[in-house]
Amino acid sequence: MSTSRFLSNLLIASFIFLIMPNIGNSQNLLETEKWKSFFEEKSYLKKGAEVSDENFWEIDASYTLYDTYTLLIIFVNGKSEEFKWQYDGLSNLLNKKKALLDSKFERLEKENIAYIVFDGYLLRNPNMGNSITGDFTFVLCEGPLSVYREYYSSPITKENTVSALMFTMNGKLVKDFYLGKFEKKAAKLVSDYAELSEKIRSRKAGYFNKQEDILRIANEYNQWVMENNVYRYDDWAGLQFDR
């Protein structure tokens, strides 16, 4: 997907030309080379997919508490801005319920934030009602069938941190996905792509209930939609901020 198409998918079209004061008066922050290449190359998908329950706290410990890091905030109204944030834990960044404070203690209300970019990770604020707990999620796969990993933890102890994969189809949460057999639920989810559905139903190697296989299924499905029903693919793009 081209950068210009990504940006039109990512943001509400009427806000594409908003001006960002911290980079001058002529260019949107997302149009700078730094962020154009970030979203075009989509390295955040690989980086997000590498995070697991087993290494979550190891990754968290690799950052220095209270050091200042840069966050790119993409707001639901189309604006984007870089903020300085004092690190207080990856789980705290993910589990923000109401507001985020930057290093100047400016309140950024969660309901106004669509995406956060932190150190190469793309974190999405799910549509209200389209998430398990309402926390920010790691983006693992984007398309009509999107896959996210959502972490939620006890506010008291790190040991209770757990995660779950979350799926949306055409912008809507796939509810109760893990109630019942995986091959039955997943095959039904992609039933319009009969060949892929049969691979899952017949338990073909590479199409099992594990993250790498699930991402393979989602990527194959999205590629099929893009090649065979481009209008539906564009419809998915238009749903991204249908709050």
Rounded mean pLDDT of 59-63? 93
Residue 52 — pLDDT band, cuts 50, 70, 90? confident
End-to-end CA distance of the chain: 24
Q: Which residues contact 228 (CB under 8 A, 6 or more apart)?
A: none
User: Taking the CA atoms of the chain, what radius of gyration do you get in angstroms?
Assistant: 18
pLDDT at 25 (0 to 100): 30
Query: Does the pLDDT at position 195 exceed 80?
Result: yes
Ranges of each domain in the chain: 3-178
Q: Hey, what are 8's tokens?
A: 């039109």
**The pLDDT of residue 140 is above 70:** yes
Helix-, strand-, coil-residue percentages of the chain, each rounded to 5: 35, 25, 40
164 pLDDT above the threshold of 60: yes
Rounded to whole angstroms, the Cα distance separating 212 from 178 reads 17
Token pair listed for 96:
């923000």
Residue 51: HSE in the Cβ half-sphere, 13 Å Cα cutoff: 26
Instruction: Compute the mean pLDDT over every residue in the chain, rounded to the nearest whole number.
Output: 80
Helix (H, G, I), strand (E, B) or coil at 88: coil
Retrieve residue 122's tokens. 């793309």
Residue type, 207: Y
Could you give the CA distance from residue 53 to residue 204 in angstroms, rounded to a whole number?
A: 26
198: DSSP letter: H
CA 126 to chain CA centroid, Å, is: 8
